[in-house]
Amino acid sequence: MSEKTGRGSRTRMDGTPLRTSSSRRPTSKALDSLRMHNGEPSVFGSIKFAGVKRAPSKWCAVSSNSEPLGVYQMVLEAWKLSPPPVLIAVTGAAVSLNLSKRDEKIFRRGLRNAALQTNAWIVTGGSAAGVMQLVGSLVHESGRQGTTKQIVCLGIAPWGVVQDHEEMLASGRGQVFSAKEFAQGEQKTEFAQGEQKTKRTRLDPNHSHFILVDDGSEGEYGKEIDFRTKLENLICKNEDANAEDAKLPTPMVLVAVGGGSGTLTTIISTLEKERPCVVMADSGGVATALWKYWQDGTLPEMKDFPSLKDEAELKKILEDLPKIKAAGMREKGANKVRQLRFFHSTNDVDGENNELDRLILESILSDRDTTFEAIQHAVKWGGSDIIDHQLQRSKTVDAKQLTQCFEAALVLAAHGDENSLHVVETLIE
């Protein structure tokens, strides 16, 4: 264990100095009420990644038995984040991601555009591998392109698998922890198949915030899924009394890229909550297997999943596919669209059919029960084309509701929002 030899003089497990610096402790009653699995006060702070120039990422470790409301209040109070207008959750390959260069470009562009247009939070598993690392890199890229909007990218991971979590604990509450530098390819070896119980994973340096879920276990993956689902569901209810749009629930969409049996578990959980999912059908893994099963009932075989551990995991996938198809066929929202939708790319990378962001936005709005609610959200985004599409498909909106949306768009336009001018024009037409 690390030893505390005096204020600011802690050491690593190997005896080398532990590099920390003081950070002003955030004031939050919610933070002070949170606990670890063993009942001790939750540990929290910031983590400075080597080679990353932006501000350190915020992190907090909490018990898996924590009330999601208390954790969410901590996020709003201690981290001073505003409730998200939209939640985009991403799941998929955590070991290796076999996307073609074309599909990777389409995914990066589509997710980035959807997040920036809606001011969404992106939620992932937070590690520096697979689709989570890809999401982190596109968040970093959006910052380099000079946009004034900063994407909140929240990683939710099991505390017991995080690299150096003992040293993060020893660094003290409210400190800045300096993560050790590692080689570019090193983070992927932390997910070596068959060694998951002995390996650790590094957190992705381009995520802005981390919630690390502690259930007392060491080296076991998937322990955060249940808590993550509950937290996402709470955020979508948007019952925070201080939220500007407390009466307007937060819509959510799950985007799945590749993945294994854990990805299917996440998809099932999302569909059971009657929330929409977008699956990249050509991304490999269970995403492609799900598409083939959806089309003609084709069942995958062991050879289709090189990373599967054993036949038991394949059996679970075969059991889950019919459940997902049944839940995904349900129609919901003002437009009565299926809750599970698939995205296929084409050879024309910049063509209209490769606008993943459009499908994500349409799926987000399918999480709203009425056209009025859907248009209210689209007005906030400045999504004139989405509003036009919504009005063409729906016959349930009335003149009074459109007037309210029109007035909201006028207010945004008066504050210099150029996209809102296009919304005003669309609503006039």
In-domain check, residue 216: yes
In-domain check, residue 52: yes
In-domain check, residue 14: no
Identify the pLDDT of residue 6.
38
CATH number assigned to the domain comprising residue 163:
3.40.50.450
Identify the pLDDT of residue 4.
40
Which uninterrupted H or E stretch holds 212? strand 209-214
Considering its fold, how many domains does the chain have in total?
2
Q: Is the same domain home to 324 and 388? A: no
Using only the alpha carbons of the chain, give its radius of gyration.
22
pLDDT tens for each residue of 253-282: 999 999 988 899 899 989 998 899 999 999
Identify the pLDDT of residue 247.
60
Q: Classify residue 6 by its DSSP letter.
A: S
Q: Is the same domain home to 80 and 217? A: yes
pLDDT tens for each residue of 158-176: 999 999 999 999 887 889 9
Q: Classify residue 252 by its DSSP letter.
A: E
Q: Is the same domain home to 103 and 166? A: yes
In-domain check, residue 362: no
Residue 210 to residue 389: CA distance in whole angstroms = 36
In-domain check, residue 147: yes
In-domain check, residue 365: no
Q: What does the chain come to in residues? A: 429
> Which of 142, 153, 150, 258 minimizes the C-alpha distance to 205?
153
Q: Which domain holds residue 198?
A: 29-177+191-237+246-332
Q: Is the same domain home to 313 and 417? A: no
Q: Output the DSSP codes for 26-62.
A: PP-HHHHH-B-TTSSBPPEEEEEETT--SPPEEEEEE
Residues lower than pLDDT 70 in the chain: 1-27, 143-148, 181-198, 239-247, 334, 347-354, 371-372, 378, 380-429
In-domain check, residue 183: no
In-domain check, residue 185: no
Torsion sign (Cα): 172, 175, 181, 185:
positive
Q: Is the same domain home to 299 and 409? A: no
Which uninterrupted H or E stretch holds 143? helix 130-144
Q: Indicate the pTM of the whole model.
A: 0.82
